[in-house]
Structure 1
């Protein structure tokens, strides 16, 4: 099988458009890759396009981007595999947008469970793509609230940018960190899914209750990796979650 030829846009961002960030694009369809690259470069982003999974891994190892856009079906694997790898490594908090022709709810939920920050189904409009990229980068750059009372087993460090659980540094994504800090801020209080969604994703988030549930699930799994005997996050049916 020959390597997909990814033709990146030959157009460069106008000098009047400031540099907006570095983006890794993993997309094996040359036409889509060229279109996405052109649209984003026109907005000031610098795009590195890859058509193979192994190329994207090499690109990430050599130069960490500000955001990754991952296709799902690829010649040598699945973009969701790379998403899962990112969440377990040093780039755990890298914003990830999944592009996929699979638009069923189950596919979106799977992508979110594996650590994607957003999921955009094909076909999509260029304006929506740019808006979602901007939103992800804006949230990634926003300071995370660090005020949290002391809760047994948890230590918030570096102005709220990381949390230790029983001495172990948790490899949290930005959304998982936001959820945990929100729960830590008011231990014992029941937080509704809507309030967690508004606090962590923002009022304009294009997400629902299932998004909160999937991120709570992955957060719980990471806590259990440190202390399998503990489950500090309590589910209140029909109401929400609390930290006990």
Structure 2
């Protein structure tokens, strides 16, 4: 199977657009986090495809093989480590596979599954994003000339944050007694709260993730999600 890049590579990467011609598959259930990746890809010259779960990612991979796969460690239908292992050791290998999470403790699991590297959330630095991908790329896919670091910090659209809150609310409402579901939603909210720099929401999600079987922390997190979701953003 050819990479999508084999069909669309028309120009070599440049100093200002060092990822030109590359396709990035972002396997990410958070629209807010994925918007940050999209902005960094656009500034770097890369195309982006998004999958919001493992099943969706595998449907993508049956059609094409991206040059870079960025895999969130906590996905609604399983652990990102499972998909990373498939990408690194299976038939649909990608040249660069990066794990990502707002929980730095999951870096070890990503690397053990075979990931080339790890991106810590929140991802806002274009220079760090480019550097982490380029250091794992084959030499012929890197810019030949020296390049100045892009010091721009991306700022994802807050509407995507509201979309994530609505998704968390729908996933948890009426299910605060389901420890498995609480654990997934708590980890999801931890990631978006870290990206949004929302300390109160992060603390509530952290408390729920420590003991998802207890209804109190889950209910407190749900109440705070409801409060945040009611603050609509004018378009």
Q: Normalising to structure 1: TM-score of the pair? A: 0.47
Q: Which has the higher contact order (CA 8 A, sep 6+)?
A: 2
Q: Normalising to structure 2: TM-score of the pair? A: 0.48
The structure richer in strand per residue is: 1
